[in-house]
Amino acid sequence: MTPIFNDINICMACNANYAEPMRTMIYSVLLHADMSRKYEFIIMSSDLSECDRGLLLRMERENVRFQFLDMSAFHELVKNCTKNYISAETNYRLYLFSEEFAQYDRMLYLDCDMQAAGDIAELYDIDLEGKAVAACEEVLLIPTSITKSAIFFDGKPCNADIYRTRHLGLDKPRDYFNAGMLVLDLKRCRQITDAQRAVEVLTAHRMQFNDQDALNIIFKGEVKQLDFRYSYPPTVKETAKKEQFRTALAEVLRDDPLIVHYAGPRKPWNSDVPLAEIYTQNNSRMKQEERT
């Protein structure tokens, strides 16, 4: 891969089923984009149709470009490392540490189930303070920790805190980050790992959260935790209404998210979730423009 602009580099991974949500996410990014900056989107997929590629290419402009990376071979390595509603494509982000991206020094990775509510250049430019990765704490595990609900490692149940410390090796449970949004210093990342080692970590155990767990293992001590507004799960507002979680989640609530992350199985295109209107409005506007 050769950078087109090397200004703001954004990578996303998807399959055909997530093509429309991914386009809607990209559309939301461009709605708030700083027109003085240049945005390059790298799309990793093994089954994206020519029609879906064409719809993305229609978004190109002088300061917006797309590159597509066929992940068919890598897909075979990681296709069985999935669980629940999570697809194999989530594991593609491990390929960012390969020599394919040797000419990229920084990358912003974004999941498809997100919507930007502001200019992501603010996030891309953040000072990593020497760390390899910047990310947000995994909010959805806070209630799981309180209720001591079972999480499975190699088929054996344990609570969320033991899972993150004893099995994943983190010093503190709340060091664990969500991998849906990652700011990556790829030069530093490549000093720590490569794609082959990342896949080896992924496949060494049956883990609850697939590549997210692998990334937490690999980058222990190399993560700058960011404010929750940079990857805000809107369902946290519902959960925080419950008395047993109210105190623990009070610090998480935000009124000004830069990125809304519809994490979990409930998505704005299949469920009634908080802040679904952001996705719905952007999706409707995008489709209207696609028809013209």
Supply the pLDDT for residue 84. Answer: 65
3-16: pLDDT as tens digits: 999 999 999 999 99
* 3-state percent helix, strand, coil for the chain, nearest multiple of 5: 40, 20, 40
- The secondary structure element, H or E, covering residue 215 is helix 210-218
User: What band does 226 get if pLDDT is binned at 50, 70 and 90?
Assistant: very high
- The secondary structure element, H or E, covering residue 53 is helix 50-57
Sequence length of the chain is 292
Taking the alpha carbons at both ends of the chain, their separation in whole angstroms is: 32
Say if residue 76's pLDDT is above 80: yes
Q: Which amino acid is at 102?
A: A
Say if residue 87's pLDDT is above 90: no
Question: 157 forms bridges with which residues in the sheet?
Answer: 152
User: What band does 24 get if pLDDT is binned at 50, 70 and 90?
Assistant: very high
d(CA 29, CA 193): 30
How confident is the prediction for the chain on average, in pLDDT? Answer: 95
C-alpha closest to that of 214 among 231, 197, 228: 197
C-alpha closest to that of 252 among 235, 269, 277, 275: 235
User: What band does 184 get if pLDDT is binned at 50, 70 and 90?
Assistant: very high
Average pLDDT over residues 33-39: 95
Between 289 and 86, name the one with better pLDDT.
289
Q: Calculate the CA 57 to chain-centre distance.
A: 22
Structure tokens at 269: 């295109």
C-beta of residue 178 within 8 angstroms of C-beta of residue 136? yes
Say if residue 85's pLDDT is above 70: no
Say if residue 168's pLDDT is above 70: yes
Supply the pLDDT for residue 82. Answer: 76
Structure tokens at 203: 């496949």
- The secondary structure element, H or E, covering residue 24 is helix 19-31
d(CA 71, CA 92): 8
* DSSP code for 1: -
Would the pTM count as exceeding 0.75?
yes
Which positions ≥6 away from 128 have C-beta within 8 Å? 134, 183, 185, 188, 224
Q: Calculate the CA 234 to chain-centre distance.
A: 15
* Lowest-pLDDT range of 68-82, 102-116, 124-138, 269-283: 68-82
Class of domain 8-291: alpha beta
Average pLDDT over residues 79-103: 88
Which positions ≥6 away from 105 have C-beta within 8 Å? 6, 185, 186, 187
d(CA 198, CA 176): 17
